[in-house]
Amino acid sequence: MTGRTPSTKLAIAVCGAGIGGLASALMHARQGHAVTLFEQFEAPQPVGSGFMLQPTGMAVLETLGLADRIAARGAWVDRIFGRSEPSGAVVLDVSYAALDPEYRGLGIQRSALFDALYEAVKREAVTLRPGMIVKGASRGTLTFADYAPTGPFDLIVDALGSESALSDRHPARALPYGALWATLDWPKGGPFSPHALEQRYYRASKMVGVLPVGSATAAAPEKATFFWSLPHGGLDDWRARPLDAWKDEVRALWPDTAILLDGIDSHDALAWATYRHRTLSRPYGDGIVHIGDSYHATSPQLGQGANMALLDAFALAHAVATEGRAEIGASFAQLRQGHVRLFQTMSRLFTPVYQSDSRALPVLRDRITGPISLHWPAPPILAALVTGMLGRPLSRLGLDAYRAGKTNPVARS
């Protein structure tokens, strides 16, 4: 890091009140900059399924003083487990402890993370501008669908997600497969491990997954996020099919899911997520920096997107704190590029192994790579991949991984 003289007070526009945008707005406000947060929804809200925070994302949340509150709302996950059916072959069994006995993932409802970040943002002197659809940016000024241009800003943070209007010169490519998902009551004492993300596959064309995601508020019941993989082209057919015929298909793949399927009473109980892939080779331009999915969208097979958005926000805040205005973008890129490229490549390689029409890849997975992955030295390498620690992204940022086992007795069970 070059350490040129940082500007004392910048006018910063953060576009998008998702995970990356909220974290970024919070950090810059606490640095004393004048932050305006633009969001398309009239009332900012969490959109999307429950997901996993890793020791990387939790490390960033710890710097914000939010990790313990968020941990209390989630479910500690120490294992990711997948079987191929009908053979029953174990093709994925990653234990966090293979890397470090105190590492855990945290299954969490998106609303729990969103609420913690949004409430913290509201306590800071951030100017909130909801209901504003960003259309473009030029020389520090933002343009909107229904409002006059606003600016100039010293820095624009593009945190608009995978369909960002500000990185549309490199549109994200929709992947062939996406997923249906639902948040359902966690079956207490039921067939699922409360500390594992479990999946079942048929070839790579069918996949069902169950993730414990804790309770969104202290009084709310514990929940599971349920996933069903589906090709884009199959969505209309799925909607046209009787729901019971689809439930029969899911039960045939993983009979234990019957107890969850009972909680799904219409097609509308499931939401559709399109997966997209894009990696910007240069995540910054004149007065603008792209973070989160607008920089690097991908399928959630490796479960890193939200964590990477948090790491991006932290890296950008670091660059703002240490660099002069003209060097912020390049400094941010230097801090994040290696890790982002590594995981985007891994995600591109791994996604078709679990979500594609390929016949050869799942055979290779079930007969060769799956069995090999269960033996040393694969377990710690795979654990480094799922924790997001591969490539040592934290040491570049001066952060330590969040160690759940140290502070939380549940996480030690």
Ligand X SMILES: Cc1cc2nc3c(=O)[nH]c(=O)nc-3n(C[C@H](O)[C@H](O)[C@H](O)COP(=O)(O)OP(=O)(O)OC[C@H]3O[C@@H](n4cnc5c(N)ncnc54)[C@H](O)[C@@H]3O)c2cc1C
Query: Which residue lies nearer to ligand X by CB, 31 or 274?
Result: 274
Shortest gap between Cβ of 165 and ligand X (angstroms)?
4
301 binds ligand X (CB under 6 A): no
Query: Which residue lies nearer to ligand X by CB, 305 or 362?
Result: 305
Query: Which residue lies nearer to ligand X by CB, 111 or 307?
Result: 307
In whole angstroms, what is the distance from residue 296 CA to residue 294 CA? Answer: 6
Shortest gap between Cβ of 179 and ligand X (angstroms)?
5
The single-letter code of the amino acid at 65 is G
In whole angstroms, what is the distance from residue 291 CA to residue 293 CA? Answer: 7
In whole angstroms, what is the distance from residue 36 CA to residue 5 CA? Answer: 23
* Cα 3 from chain centroid (whole Å): 31
Query: Which residue lies nearer to ligand X by CB, 113 or 366?
Result: 113
DSSP code of 234? G
In sequence order, what are the beta bridge partners of 182?
226
- Mapped onto helix, strand or coil, the DSSP state of residue 269 is helix
293 binds ligand X (CB under 6 A): yes
Binding segment (CB under 6 A) for ligand X, from list 63-71, 298-306, 327-335, 394-402 = 298-306
Query: Which residue lies nearer to ligand X by CB, 57 or 329?
Result: 57
As a dihedral over the C-alpha atoms of residue 389, residue 393, residue 395, residue 397, rounded to 10 degrees, the angle is -140
Binding segment (CB under 6 A) for ligand X, from list 9-17, 116-124, 323-331, 364-372 = 9-17
> Binding to ligand X (CB under 6 A): which residues in 93-152?
133-134
Concatenated DSSP letters for 167-207?
A: STTSPPEEPSEEEEEEEEE--TTSSS-TTEEEEEEETTTEE
Query: Which residue lies nearer to ligand X by CB, 366 or 401?
Result: 401
Binding segment (CB under 6 A) for ligand X, from list 11-19, 26-34, 258-266, 402-410 = 11-19
DSSP code of 220? S
48 binds ligand X (CB under 6 A): yes
> Binding to ligand X (CB under 6 A): which residues in 150-209?
159-161, 165, 179, 181
137, two tokens: 């940016």
Query: Which residue lies nearer to ligand X by CB, 93 or 327?
Result: 93
In whole angstroms, what is the distance from residue 298 CA to residue 154 CA? Answer: 29
Total residue length of the chain = 413
In order of 117, 286, 296, 410, the CA distances from 194 in angstroms are: 25, 47, 31, 11
Q: Which helix (H) or strand (E) holds 351?
A: helix 328-354
Shortest gap between Cβ of 386 and ligand X (angstroms)?
10
214 binds ligand X (CB under 6 A): no
Shortest gap between Cβ of 88 and ligand X (angstroms)?
25
> Binding to ligand X (CB under 6 A): which residues in 244-273?
273
How many residues contact ligand X, by CB under 6 A? 33
Give the count of beta carbons closer than 10 Å to the beta carbon of residue 202.
Answer: 17
Query: Which residue lies nearer to ligand X by CB, 280 or 366?
Result: 280
In whole angstroms, what is the distance from residue 63 CA to residue 401 CA? Answer: 11
Q: Tell me which residue has its CB nearest to ligand X.
A: 18
Shortest gap between Cβ of 211 and ligand X (angstroms)?
7
Q: Which of 361, 366, 342 is nearest to 351 (CA)?
A: 361
Contact in structure between 52 and 108 (CB atoms under 8 Å): yes
18 binds ligand X (CB under 6 A): yes
Shortest gap between Cβ of 265 and ligand X (angstroms)?
21
Shortest gap between Cβ of 151 and ligand X (angstroms)?
15
In whole angstroms, what is the distance from residue 62 CA to residue 357 CA? Answer: 41
Contact in structure between 158 and 24 (CB atoms under 8 Å): no
Single out the residue of 55, 283, 305, 405 in contact with ligand X (rule: CB under 6 A). 305
Query: Which residue lies nearer to ligand X by CB, 187 or 305?
Result: 305
Query: Which residue lies nearer to ligand X by CB, 49 or 279?
Result: 49
Q: Which residues bind ligand X (CB under 6 A)?
A: 15-21, 38-41, 48-49, 51-52, 133-134, 159-161, 165, 179, 181, 273, 292-293, 300, 303-307, 309
